[in-house]
Amino acid sequence: MENFNYSVLVHREMTGELTSNESVLLNDWLAADSKNPILAENIRNIWIASQSKVSGWEPDVEGGLKRLQQRIAEDEQSKTTRRPVIFSLLKYAAAAMFIFSLGYFVIGIGSDTAELNWQVAETTTNEIKEISLTDGSVVTLNEGTYFTFPKTFGSDSRVVKMEGEGFFQIERDESRPFSIEMDHGTVRVLGTSFNIENDSEANSTTISVASGKVAFIPKGSTQEFILEINDKLIYNANTKRFRKVKDLSPNDWSWKTKELVFQDTKLEEVIPAIEKHFDIRLSLKNTKIGDCRNLTATFTDAARMDVLTALKVSVGVEIKKAKATNTFVIFGGKCE
């Protein structure tokens, strides 16, 4: 239950955008703890209340709820005579809603007041959104992404949070390093451009650098991975293992550029790039040709079938639609 943002799922349920898989996750979370349905109702109330706020401002619901849960836990542990849990939860939920109605959220005594200015951007299926930050940096969000950022950055740092995938073009500011906090770790930069894919299902993070230099620090670790232009890092949070490769093509962010570029690229590398770009699955029956058949082509804003047809002709294979949704089978072909 740790690999998804339940506040996002509750919000998607309210807007009618919840998928069947997400519905299962949400229902499992609701049933996992008697406190969760109350927290879910609190999230619904907060989102409803947020619609009446000034345009351009949205609450840090996830951060606020985490702080609220922490205060509940601390309060329960400190009591010598405990009242029913439901009473305490409702008490804190009411307190949260009261403070929120004034334009704030429960953040605890001594918290940084900059947290009050956090905003939320979210993309749905087939939606790409560009966010301009106050420091001049630009973040492009791929579909199904949840991005949290402050209205204004502090004087000594620039910190944002993301779940999903985004392409970052960061303005250089040596006095204020830029950090992206994610479930699996933190990315830190001064000024550069790069793509981050934070995959909750695979529990992995992939970072591809287009320019400059990037540092990645896995969650709970002091190890730091330094990536430079054309470097790609694939980190698995389950196994704590990583793979660092040189990737000279920009296909990791083809969702943004609408362009696929292959330069004498092996079929085994072509397939995952096409799969990600069109959100399909390609099954290679003759795995031997993956290493010996290459493709050189550039596709700009091309349709899925046009790319598959070009692949069929150029590589010398047959491609047929499978029964499974958005799945194609590649068969035939031989090494020369």
Please give the residue range of the domain that contains residue 128: 116-246
Query: Helices in the chain by DSSP H: which ranges?
Result: 6-15, 20-32, 36-50, 61-78, 85-101, 254-257, 267-278, 304-315
pLDDT digits 0-9 by tens, 195-232: 999 888 888 999 999 999 999 999 888 889 999 999 99
**Are residues 103 and 78 part of one domain?**
yes
Is 159 part of any domain?
A: yes
Q: What is the pTM of this model?
A: 0.64
| Beta pairing, strands 327-331 & 281-284 | parallel
Is 253 part of any domain?
A: no
CA 148 to mean position of chain CA atoms: 11
Instruction: Count structural domains, the chain.
Output: 3
**Are residues 229 and 121 part of one domain?**
yes
**Are residues 166 and 239 part of one domain?**
yes
Is 251 part of any domain?
A: no
User: In this structure, what CATH number is given to the domain that contains residue 223?
Assistant: 2.60.120.1440
3-state SS class at 247: coil
pLDDT digits 0-9 by tens, 280-332: 999 999 898 999 888 999 999 999 999 999 999 988 899 999 988 999 999 98
**Are residues 302 and 224 part of one domain?**
no
Last residue of one domain, picked from the residues 80, 111, 142: 111
Is 192 part of any domain?
A: yes
Flag whether pLDDT at 34 surpasses 50.
Answer: yes
Is 129 part of any domain?
A: yes
Confirm if 273 and 301 have CB atoms less than 8 A apart.
Answer: no
Last residue of one domain, picked from the residues 221, 246, 271: 246
**Are residues 230 and 146 part of one domain?**
yes
Last residue of one domain, picked from the residues 51, 76, 111: 111
Angle between helices 85-101 and 36-50 (to 10 degrees): 10
**Are residues 149 and 101 part of one domain?**
no
- Residue 128 token pair: 């790409």
**Are residues 159 and 71 part of one domain?**
no
Residue-level pLDDT at 58: 46
| Beta pairing, strands 138-141 & 129-132 | antiparallel
Residue-level pLDDT at 267: 93
Confirm if 187 and 198 have CB atoms less than 8 A apart.
Answer: no
User: In this structure, what CATH number is given to the domain that contains residue 316?
Assistant: 3.55.50.30
CA distances from 188 to 47, 192, 225, 241 (A): 31, 10, 10, 20
